[in-house]
Amino acid sequence: MGGNRKALAFSGRIVMVGFGSIGQGTLPLLLRHIDLKPEQISIVTGDEKGRKVAAEHGVAFHDTPLTPANYRALLEPRLGRGDLLINCSTDVSSIALITLCQECGAAYIDTCIEPWAGGYTDASTTPAMRTNYALREKALALKHPGAPTAVITHGANPGMVSHLVKEALLHIARDCGRPAGAPKDRAGWARLARDLNIRTIHIAERDSQVAAPRKSPGEFVNTWSVEGFVGEGCQPAELGWGSHERHFPADGCRHKTGCKAAIYLARPGASTRVRTWTPLAGPIDGFLITHSESISLADYLSIDEEGGPVYRPTVHYAYHPSDDTVLSVHELAGRNWQMQASHRLVKDEIVSGVDELGVLLMGHAKGAFWYGSRLSIQEARRLAPHNSATSLQVTAPVVAGVIWALRHPGRGVVEPEELDHEQILDFIRPYLGEVVGTYSEWTPLADRSVLFEEELDREDPWQFKNFRVA
């Protein structure tokens, strides 16, 4: 499942819903790795963006926004048993599309679980209902034995990072003198994480890509979907809540139903900052943006006994986006989270920079270990057309997930943690630039100024309160 050879033949139809930066970057990889003809693919999207790319590849393009009123009429004629829907959209309900695919007998994949337009900021709903936790619970409720395979949340993060966590655990185990060999099931991975004393896992990302021209006042600039980032940035901050935590946040909220592996904060993720570390950038402040992997990884690595978890790591995203995006977020916050009138998705305009995306596992005998991808814009352009460094880290896992879904029909709804991490990483590694693992002595207590009387837990550096920026 690696290299540039054709992965498998496919005789069915593929419908791509949404064709922004991720859809446009996914299309050429689909045609490279799956033996199909362009006429087998059709694109249904909400605007004209991407029409030129679709035409370049000879793929049908329909610019009709999907709504609760029309999605069935538009998609049912294009989907049947053995077909596939690739959801790269924003503002289109993943739950609705998964349900439709189950009825039609079609496979499905997405990069995140989306609500219908306005769902992230609907003031008529409670904050708990607007969390990724709630969206994940709704998606998992669609698990039915023998249903068409539906791979959910399989982009870079969520998605690729769950496979990186497993690989990182194996590296740490080897370097700490633990017996070799990957666990065979969920319980085995949880025991390995516990035995290594993994206390906290960050999805630690620093995007240093720079575009020209730079951001202007009143403009939101991003290296991937503007609407997608603003939507998730306005959701409550969410994190998997570890069993070692002893300081519950004053603004923290627990869920009353479901797996209960995560909590949320009563504030937007884009206004919540946390300390983290990556090899190239060193110590950085990132945004605690909600992502499904914060919940699914914490849930997957939990060891439960009667009365609650006896082991679970704290898991969350710590994201330092491009500098122009950081400025855009500050401006957005000043506008009380009302989107700027102008927004710009940059891809061809990027002139330099690297997206350093990986997982930071902390608390084990060697301190902290970052494992992930360092992909430059120049390398991304060499590897695949219509991609930036950020998008290629998403699109390669999408295609890997597509191939897995087509090879494993009838699995129902599955999360990244349920896929074979070695097969997925074997496919995507050639697209990730430099894949590195680096140990560090960094902790969130490092170099904390004595000039400020912060309430820190100096006995246990891996407490969430030490990571959070006051």
pLDDT in tens, 201-252: 999 999 999 999 999 999 999 999 999 999 999 999 999 999 999 999 999 9
Nearest to 365 by CA among 178, 163, 161: 178
Report pLDDT for 447. Answer: 85
> Going from the N-terminus, what domains does the chain have, and what CATH number goes with each?
8-151 (3.40.50.720), 160-389+429-467 (3.30.360.30)
Which pair of tokens denotes residue 398? 């999408």
Q: Is 422 helix (H, G, I), strand (E, B) or coil?
A: helix
User: 415: burial class by Cβ within 10 Å (0-12, 13-18, 19+)?
Assistant: buried
Mean pLDDT across 322-346 = 97
Q: Between 440 and 145, whose confidence is greater?
A: 440
**With 60 as the cut, is the pLDDT of residue 349 above it?**
yes
Mean pLDDT across 438-450 = 90
Report pLDDT for 5. Answer: 52
409 prior amide bond cis, ω within 30? no
Measured distance CA(116)–CA(139) in Å, rounded:
14
Phi/psi region, residue 219 (left: phi>0; alpha: psi -120 to 50; beta: rest), is beta
**With 50 as the cut, is the pLDDT of residue 352 above it?**
yes
**With 90 as the cut, is the pLDDT of residue 452 above it?**
no
Measured distance CA(55)–CA(220) in Å, rounded:
28
Mean pLDDT across 171-190 = 93
Angle at 276 between CA 271 and CA 280, to 5 degrees: 120
Mean pLDDT across 39-51 = 96
Mean of the per-residue pLDDT values of the chain = 95
* C-beta of residue 37 within 8 angstroms of C-beta of residue 13: no
* C-beta of residue 281 within 8 angstroms of C-beta of residue 356: yes
Report pLDDT for 120. Answer: 87
- Longest CA–CA span in the chain (Å) reads 66
Q: How confident is the model at residue 4 (pLDDT cuts 50, 70, 90)?
A: very low
Which pair of tokens denotes residue 453? 């009387």
pLDDT in tens, 71-109: 999 999 999 999 999 999 999 999 999 999 999 999 999
Nearest to 198 by CA among 316, 371, 315, 373: 315
Report pLDDT for 453. Answer: 61
With tokens 């006042």, the residue in question is 217
* C-beta of residue 261 within 8 angstroms of C-beta of residue 293: no
Which pair of tokens denotes residue 300? 């997957």
What percentage of the chain exceeds 90 in pLDDT? 92
Instruction: Return the DSSP state at 433.
Output: B
Report pLDDT for 2. Answer: 44
**With 60 as the cut, is the pLDDT of residue 426 above it?**
yes
pLDDT in tens, 263-274: 999 999 999 999
* C-beta of residue 128 within 8 angstroms of C-beta of residue 151: no
Mean pLDDT across 106-127 = 92
Mean pLDDT across 411-434 = 98
Q: How confident is the model at residue 465 (pLDDT cuts 50, 70, 90)?
A: very high
| Beta-strand runs (E) in 49-174 | 60-63, 84-87, 107-110, 150-151
